[in-house]
Amino acid sequence: MVITPNEIAVRRTLLKIIIVLMLTGLTVVAKAQQYASATASASIVNPMIATTTQEMYFGKLIAGSDAGKIVLSPSSIPAVAAGLKFAPSNKTAVAASFEITAANEAYAITVQPEPIIISSVSGKESMRIHSFNYTSSTKNLLNTRTETLLIGATLTLSSQAPQTSVSDTLFTITANYY
C-alpha cells in the first residue's frame, strides 16, 4: 500500500486536529476543577460569672387600712404611694445589686419577668413584687468586662398585720453570651 503525499498531508492535518482537541479537552477539565482551602479555629473566652452583691430591701413600712405600694428605683430611691409610710429605721431601702464578670464579648441580660408573691407566716396576707427594672454600669479591662447591675421593683400590698416578710421565691437574672 502506497501512501500518497496528499494522504500524508490529510493525516498530518487530522493528527493536528486530534492533538488540538485533546489539549482543549484537557484544558476544559483542568478549568472545571478548582480548589480552595480554609483554616479552622476556635476562641476560648472566660466563663461568665454573676454574683449577688446586695439583696433587695424595701424598708420598714407602716401599712394603713388601704392597699399601698412602694416603687424602689435601681438607684435605691423609694417612692411610697398612698396607704404606706416608712417607719423609723436605721436600715434604708436598697435596690438589689449584682456583679457580672464576662469576656469582652456581647451578652444579654434578662431580669425576672414574673411577679413574686410573698405570703405572711399566717398565710392570710400577701405582697407582690413586680415591675422589675434595672440600670447598669460597665468597666472594661483587657479581655474582661465587669458590669454592676442595679435592680429595683415595685412592692404592692393590701392591708397587713405587722410582720417581717421574706420571699421564699428568689428572683433571678440571666446573663448569656450571644
Sorted by where each begins, the domain ranges of the chain are: 49-177
Q: Model confidence over 87-113: pLDDT tens digits?
A: 888 888 999 999 988 887 778 888 877
Verdict on whether the full-model pTM lies above 0.75: no
> Residue 99 belongs to what H/E stretch?
strand 96-103
59, burial (CB in 10 Å: exposed 0-12, middle 13-18, buried 19+)? middle
CA distance 69 to 56: 15
Listed in sequence order, the DSSP H helices in the chain are 5-32
20 pLDDT exceeds 80? no
